[in-house]
């Protein structure tokens, strides 16, 4: 039986306080961008890490660290200044279905983004006066793949206009945009508004949200995310994505 809205808010706020703290970093892929201090390094490391953030979390972290080492632990400099021969080092990289072809394409597309679109912050900015990233993410995907590419790599960037909840990009956006006084999220994209963020929706957060009555829809798609957005923004319109810590923590760590 779902809790009343006041009880849900109190309950989730308690869980946010539990999991939104630096101790969370050590077990989460967000530790990878925390290795860096330069803005562009943080956002590139975050984007690439979020892109491969599915499956076993330890393997995600291990492979993301390996990916950073292949970028000479200077992601921004490598993206801008690599030579074609430098891309050969990615020939053996693989994380689940993300392989060397995909890694190489992401480097080329990121070079395109930083050379022609002033970087990820501008390329992912909402430009249609909407209060979520649905069209911004879809437009970003078009921009990302407007250079020559293999079709297989497109699957690694979600498109909300095709119904995807875009969990990994929404997680990345939370990392970059959310103003976090606890030091987990970075909040370095000041041209974005945290009130427009969506909670990353996956099997864990979706199951918990349904048990709490925050989602009725059964699929974890954009329609379900929109439903979750509405309910979480009723709890905190300025910082709705903070409840990701609660939903994820309840699902992964507490088996709620």
Distance CA 101, CA 104 (A): 5
Residue pair 248/204 in contact by the 8 Å Cβ criterion: yes
**Is the CB of residue 60 less than 8 Å from the CB of residue 53?**
yes
Looking at the chain, the whole-number percentage of residues with pLDDT higher than 90 is 95
Q: What is the pLDDT of residue 256?
A: 86
pLDDT average, residue stretch 144-154? 98
38 Cβ contact list (under 8 Å, min separation 6): 76
* Residues 204-235: tens digit of each pLDDT: 999 999 999 999 999 999 999 999 999 999 99
pLDDT band at 1 (very low <50, low <70, confident <90, very high): very low
Please say if the pLDDT value at position 122 is more than 90.
yes
Report the Cα 25 to chain-centroid distance in Å: 15
Give pLDDT, residue 237.
97
CA atoms within 13 A on the CB side of 227: 17
Alpha helices in 24-99 (DSSP H): 39-51, 57-70, 75-81
Q: Angle at the Cα of 82 (from 78 to 86), degrees rounded to 5?
A: 110
Task: Identify the burial level of 84 via C-beta atoms within 10 angstroms of its C-beta, where 0-12 means exposed, 13-18 middle and 19 or more buried.
Answer: exposed
Where residue 4 falls among pLDDT bands split at 50, 70, 90?
low
Cα→Cα distances 155→30, 137, 151, 204, 208, Å:
22, 13, 8, 22, 27
Confidence of residue 2 (pLDDT cuts 50, 70, 90): very low
Residue written as token pair 């990820």: 120
Q: What is the mean pLDDT of residues 86-91?
A: 98
State the pLDDT at residue 5. 65
% of the chain surpassing 70 pLDDT: 98
Q: pLDDT at residue 188 above 70?
A: yes
pLDDT score at 217: 97
* Predicted local distance difference test score (pLDDT) of residue 52: 98
Residue 96 region by backbone torsions, left for phi larger than 0, else alpha for psi between -120 and 50, else beta: left
Going by pLDDT thresholds of 50, 70 and 90, the confidence category of residue 3 is: low
- Give me the residue spans of the domains in the chain: 5-252
pLDDT at 255: 85
Q: What is the pLDDT of residues 13-51, one digit of tens each?
A: 999 999 999 999 999 999 999 999 999 999 999 999 999
Q: Tokens 């979480």 correspond to what residue?
A: 232
Contact 160, 137 (CB under 8 A): yes
SS (H, E, C) 124-185: CCCCCCCCCCHHHHHHHHHHHCCCCCCHHHHHHCCCHHHCECCHHHHHHHHHHHCCCCCCCC
């Amino acid at each position: 039986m779902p809790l009343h809205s006041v009880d849900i808010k109190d309950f989730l706020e308690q869980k946010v306080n539990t999991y939104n703290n630096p101790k969370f970093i050590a077990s989460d892929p967000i530790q990878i961008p925390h290795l860096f201090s330069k803005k562009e390094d943080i956002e590139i490391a975050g984007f690439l890490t979020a892109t491969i953030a599915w499956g076993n979390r330890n393997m995600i972290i291990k492979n993301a660290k390996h990916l950073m080492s292949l970028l000479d632990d200077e992601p921004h400099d490598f993206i801008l200044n690599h030579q074609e021969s430098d891309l050969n080092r990615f020939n053996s990289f693989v994380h689940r279905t993300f392989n060397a072809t995909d890694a190489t394409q992401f480097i080329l597309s990121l070079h395109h983004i930083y050379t022609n679109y002033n970087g990820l912050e501008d390329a992912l900015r909402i430009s249609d006066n909407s209060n979520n990233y649905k069209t911004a993410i879809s437009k970003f995907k078009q921009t990302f793949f407007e250079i020559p590419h293999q079709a297989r790599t497109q699957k690694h960037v979600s498109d909300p206009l095709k119904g995807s909840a875009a969990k990994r990009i929404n997680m990345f956006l939370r990392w970059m945009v959310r103003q976090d006084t606890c030091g987990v999220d970075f909040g370095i994209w000041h041209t974005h508004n945290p009130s427009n963020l969506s909670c990353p929706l996956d099997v864990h957060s979706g199951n918990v949200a349904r048990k709490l009555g925050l989602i009725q829809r059964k699929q974890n798609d954009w329609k379900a995310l929109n439903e979750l957005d509405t309910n979480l923004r009723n709890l905190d319109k300025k910082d709705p994505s903070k409840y990701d810590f609660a939903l994820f923590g309840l699902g992964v760590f507490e088996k709620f």
